[in-house]
Structure 1
């Protein structure tokens, strides 16, 4: 057994050496912007730690504090009476600590979090490119605090750290802003993400966290997938056995297909329990399950299968078997025969197309590095850093959507902060109707003129939005002026105009904020006839004639009410008589034209059947000529 463990350890060391020389590991970064003091104002890169909770899609502002003692944060700050853990500015505290071999990065973060820090900045102790701060190997941490770290962490360069420390010694307040909004690509309305995992449930804390994550995230993942918001793909890491060891007992116990696809022994003990090849076969079966389910249009069933398998077929109960796995497959109504065909002959000296594709997918492309550790989550081609739990991963996926395309689940309380709730996000708003240009997104608000009840608003979204279209007057009166007084209502919104506001007749103004009544009497634009008395009303006017005269508004004249006397009735009678004559002449002319037209039509028709008088006479004269 000792010899078996030793061989396994040496094999792992060989793999780690190969990874360090050949694998391309990408350090995922976000930006750190110093806002004060003036001489440090700039944007700097920092490396995201592979633990804690990075605020993907968001920002976090704070003031930097560097402790007088315990500067590597390897001890708890509760016993350090010289450490005054306050920023003095009412801002969250970003604790700056030194890197050092005295303790793990994770312990530094845990001590900072317990002391009340909102984030931890680790100062590199050497001039080198930034590295990724990772969790300690299994068994070295000796504590369960790793999954409880909830603050973000970042490694900053030695030069930036020294500049910050110098400013703090003056003393000057150093304010910084950690920004994760561009840490993940967000090109469109669908997020593509991969989860590199393992069916092994005997690898300690990491296996337990994977299993719990799949169980917790299943519901969210399936909803996003079913509605087309995401495209999810599971993956499994394997490696091949060196040719010199293919025929060895150890390689045969850990590999399938003649050493092509291998996994470590689950218990790191070749004399008991399951072998590495059992893990490889189950990984292959899970990959095949996804392939078959995806081809049937139900890729989300993978989450059900993996969750059920972990519950029904654990290694500890010796049920990590083919039969148990196929029972779970059958319970989900997936074709077991297709799964078997996909798995193929694991003892044959041939390549398996599914596992070969998995090995090729491990190699990084573009900005993505090689996948070398488990578990690994990749969102839109970038490796996720941080604690693997439901809330943290959902934030990362939500950060992968283009602004305004994210699903509603990304805008819930606890996932993001609605910036439209405070001062309307600085965007345009019509307070009378509460129509606003502020749109909440996962990465922050955008000021965008809205579409409300089919009415499109146009403008810059910050200072102006104007309704446009035929329906605009039905929605907040098209943003135009409207008022009611003295039993009358007037509006500056015109239905046959697609945009703009225009004060109605009788008013003057911009049509948007105000339309003022025009005093037609004072401006002498109406009621100018002799013997007329003008009275202004809201939006109009009234005109009265003296004596027995009657006011005709269309002609702005006064006429007598008595039909037998007065110039008014004589004039009116003349007009009526004139109209009657014109009508009679017009009617007579119309009848004459109709009669003439009908007569010509009838004569033309009758000419086809009998000769008319003049035609007969012409025929007789014609016959005499012939004689």
Structure 2
């Protein structure tokens, strides 16, 4: 009976996959492979990124190719005595070239990694468009075998593989640069990424890897989302049942809403354990949880819910159900009624808007392609290929940021080495103020003149950076020369200049590195009068005069402290006598004129009452008449 169920399940599953494929297309994600030598092969070629190992998203890898003389398909392990691919000190990393066929791609990569190879290139065995090398679905592919593959892998065309083999046979060295920098777009300061997953925890190694990834990546994902660096959304793959099979046991046990939304049976057995229907409902519950959490401004709580549900409600403990899920939802403070309303009636013959949107999102748009592999990560509308691990995924997400805008978590020691720590990355640096043009980014350092306290530095970033602006003298003295001696400080930076450095008066030089004191005395620039003496000082000079003379700087001349002449006092006495004589003369004239005036007045008065000697007597009656 179980065998019959399995046959029905496989037939139905194959129909789902084929039907999904006919609606859209699967996109092979690629990166560039550049051959730098020999010259006969030099150029840029396309290669397909393997869906295992750790592609170096955002970076590059340089190595030299080695093709084994035996075990060309790398299906057997390499003995160290026969083939050692570990790079030696000072030597280039080694890329193993293997032929396609006879075993899984992952086994080839695993054997190459154990032999010490830095990467594996698999040459196709037929002339065809490049395909994506994927991990096997068989249950015997143990987690240790799959999850421990770390070397990046790439599938190259048969023609390129043959050309490389011919060059190696001639004794030529084939050097290759694997470039993943443009494998994921990085258009702005925020990364949009999707995680296509499944709530099923009984589907073998891939399910285990999904759960482990969610647990390990949760903290980083929540930091990125809380601070607005990313826009994350989870998604779930579902299929719909063919109309002819809606009433069959297979569809009724694996689908909800009258066959509209289906998922494979976890145990591949319709008669025991959980059914595909249970998986669809839980997927829908997780999708609705995210929808409600996003509406309340806390989309990052999805990571807590999925993590807690996997721990508290596993299938193995028979807790994979609504009751356990509701307890987790309540513990996170979410509105259970809103989530139940979003889920709706799973038995009704109606469309569920959430799952309908999920099915539409599966179909590829633009350069993305269909989502057919679980788990799948999509970064900036491009599918991620490689191991679903914390460091690997973070590296991929960080490569999606526009250069120099990566958050600090992208520059952590777990995934990135700060190149600015080694010789300042070869960039400009002012050691006195610890200013540097070296800026560490996820893709490597860039030499970019800094902005400090609102002040812009301009330059090539490699040999010089110069402060520009009115405030430039306040930061590192505008990059100009300055020095202090004996309590005096001179600077070549001028506040009212927007750029440039000019040595102050008394100095000459470039104003940046040096300003040397000018010896005004030696160069006859000061103290030119005959009696002058000149003493040079730092940044200036001092002039003095010999004897008892005083120096007048305005006229550059010397004058005496005491003015002495032979006729000085004589002139003074003459002036004093003259002034005294003038005073007496003026007084005499004054007295004479006053006295004459008074005499004439007195005579006039007396003439009225008594005649003078030369006048006759005035008759009395005449006087009366005049009265």
Task: Verify same fold: TM over 0.5.
Answer: yes
Equivalent residue for 1:65?
66
Equivalent residues of 2:105, 2:134 under 8 A apart? yes
CA distance in 1, matches of 2:37, 2:552: 77
Q: Is the 8 A contact 2:86 2:117 kept in 1?
A: no
Match of 1:620?
Answer: none
**Offset of residue 468 of structure 1:** 2.3
- Structure 2 CA distance, aligned partners of 1:254 and 1:168? 54
2-side partners of 1:87 and 1:537: how far apart? 64
Distance 1:82 1:336 in 2: 63
Separation of aligned partners in 1, 2:389 and 2:549: 91
2:41 corresponding residue in structure 1: 40
Name the counterpart of 1:575: none
**Deviation for aligned residue 1:87:** 6.1
Name 1:76's counterpart in structure 2.
77
The answer on 1:269 being equivalent to 2:269 is: yes
Give the corresponding residue for 1:11.
Answer: 12
Equivalent residue number for residue 395 of structure 1:
395
- State whether structure 2 residue 219 is matched by structure 1 residue 222: no
Q: Assess if the C-alpha contact under 8 Å between 1:65 and 1:86 holds in 2.
A: no
SS at match of 2:150: coil
SS in 2 for 1:525: coil
Q: Are 2:231 and 1:231 equivalent residues in the alignment?
A: yes
Alignment of 1:391-430 (within 5 A): 391-430=391-430
- Answer whether contact 1:69 1:83 (CA < 8 A) is retained: no
CA distance in structure 2 between the partners assigned to 1:509 and 1:482 by the alignment: 12
Corresponding residue for 1:203?
Answer: 203
Cα offset, 1:486, TM superposition: 5.5
SS at match of 1:35: strand
Separation (CA, whole Å) in 1 of partners of 2:169 and 2:521: 79
Three-state SS of the structure 1 residue aligned to 2:45 is strand
- Deviation, 1:91, is 0.9
Aligned residue for 2:161? 161
Which residue of the partner structure matches residue 313 of structure 1? 313
Partner of 1:373: 373
Shift of 1:12: 1.5
- 1: CA distance between counterparts of 2:141 and 2:299? 37
1:68 and 1:82 in contact (8 A); partners too: no
> Counterpart of 1:441 in 2: which secondary structure?
coil
TM superposition shift of 1:436:
1.1
Any idea what SS the aligned residue of 1:391 has? Answer: helix
Maintained 8 Å contact 1:133/1:155 = yes
Aligned to 2:620: none
CA shift, 1:527, in A, is: 1.1
- Contact residue 65 and residue 87 of structure 1 kept, 8 A: no
Post-superposition CA distance 1:204-239 (Å, at most 9, x none): 111111111111111111111111111110001101
Q: How many Å apart are 1:359 and its aligned residue?
A: 0.5
Compute the displacement of 1:20 (Å).
4.8
Aligned partners of 2:420 and 2:438 also within 8 Å: yes
Give the Cα separation in 2 of the matches to 1:348 and 1:9: 27
Measure how far apart 1:160 and its partner are. 1.7
How many Å apart are 1:250 and its aligned residue? 1.6
| Cα distance change, pair 84–357 in 1 and its aligned pair in 2 (3 A) | closer
Q: Is 2:532 the partner of 1:532? A: yes
Matching of residue 491 in structure 1 with residue 491 in structure 2: yes
Residue 51 in structure 1 maps to residue 52 in structure 2: yes
| Residue of structure 2 in register with 1:621 after alignment | none
Q: Secondary structure at the match of 1:131?
A: coil
Separation in 1, partners of 2:422, 2:56: 20
Judging changes above 3 Å, is the alpha-carbon distance between structure 1 residues 315 and 86 closer, same or farther for their aligned structure 2 residues?
Answer: closer
Q: Deviations over 1:238-260 (max 9, x none)?
A: 01000000111221111111111
CA contact (8 A) 1:305 1:332 kept: yes
**Pairing 1:258–2:258 present:** yes
Measured against aligned partners, the alpha-carbon deviations of 1:280-316 in whole angstroms (never above 9, x if no partner) come to 1111111111000100000111111111111111112
Q: Quick one: structure 1 residues 439 and 274, their matched pair in 2 at CA, closer, same or farther if it must change by over 3 Å?
A: same
Matched with 2:383 is 383
Unaligned segments of structure 1, at least 5 residues: 567-627
Counterpart of 2:120? 120
Native 8 Å contact 1:395 1:410 kept in 2: yes
Aligned counterpart, 1:585: none
Pairs aligned (count): 564
Find the counterpart in structure 2 of residue 617 from structure 1: none
Q: Which runs of 5+ in 2 are unaligned?
A: 566-627
Query: How far has the Cα of 1:414 moved from its partner?
Result: 2.6
Q: CA deviation at 1:19?
A: 4.4
Q: Does 1:347 align with 2:366?
A: no
Between Structure 1 and Structure 2, whose CA radius of gyration is higher?
Answer: 2
Alpha-carbon shift at residue 2 of structure 1 (Å): 2.4
Q: Distance in 2 between matches of 1:565 and 1:356?
A: 116
Instruction: Please say if residues 534 and 542 of structure 2, whose CA atoms lie closer than 8 Å, have aligned partners that are also in contact.
Output: yes
Distance 2:311 2:85 in 1: 45
